[in-house]
Amino acid sequence: MGFVGGAETRQVALDTDVAALAATQHGLISREQVMRLGATKSVIRRRVDRGRWERLFRDVFRLAGVPASWEQSLLAACLVWGVGAVISHRAAAALWRLVGFEPGPVELTVPRPRDRKGPGIIHRHHLRDVDATVAKGIPVTTPARTLLDIACVAPMDVVEEALDDALRRRLVTIARLRWRLAEAGGPGRPGTATIRALLEARLSSEAVPDSVFERRFFRALKDAGLPLPVAQFPVQINGRTIAVADFAYPDHRLIIETDGYRYHSSRLSWERDRTRNNGLAVLGWRVVHVTWNELTRHPDRVTRAIREALAEPSA
Give a yes or no: residue 3 inside a domain.
no
185 in the same domain as 236:
no
What pLDDT shows up at residue 233?
87
What pLDDT shows up at residue 272?
56
What pLDDT shows up at residue 297?
81
141 in the same domain as 192:
yes
Torsion angle (degrees, nearest 10) of CA 24, 27, 33, 39: 130
Cα-trace Rg, the chain: 26
Give a yes or no: residue 217 inside a domain.
yes
193 in the same domain as 81:
yes
CB atoms inside a 10 Å sphere around CB 135: 17
Q: How many domains does the chain have?
A: 3
Give a yes or no: residue 159 inside a domain.
yes
Question: Which residues partner with 112 through β-bridges?
Answer: none
157 in the same domain as 113:
yes
Burial of 77 (0-12, 13-18, 19+ CB in 10 A): buried
Domain of residue 30: give its range.
Answer: 8-65
What pLDDT shows up at residue 273?
58
**Residues found in the chain:** 315
**CA-to-CA distance for 191 and 199, rounded, in angstroms?**
12
Give a yes or no: residue 99 inside a domain.
yes
Condensed to tens digits (0 to 9), the pLDDT of residues 210-256 reads: 567 778 888 899 999 999 999 888 888 777 777 788 899 999 999 98
**Are the C-beta atoms of residues 123 and 177 closer than 8 Å to each other?**
no
268 in the same domain as 163:
no
> Which of 204, 236, 255 lies at the terminal end of a domain, its last residue?
204
Condensed to tens digits (0 to 9), the pLDDT of residues 192-202 reads: 888 888 888 77
- Low-confidence stretches of the chain (pLDDT < 50) are 1-3, 205-209, 261-270
**Are the C-beta atoms of residues 69 and 78 closer than 8 Å to each other?**
no
What pLDDT shows up at residue 2?
46
Cis ω on the peptide bond leading into residue 113 (within 30° of 0)? Answer: yes
96 in the same domain as 155:
yes
Helices (H) and strands (E) in the chain, counts: 13, 12
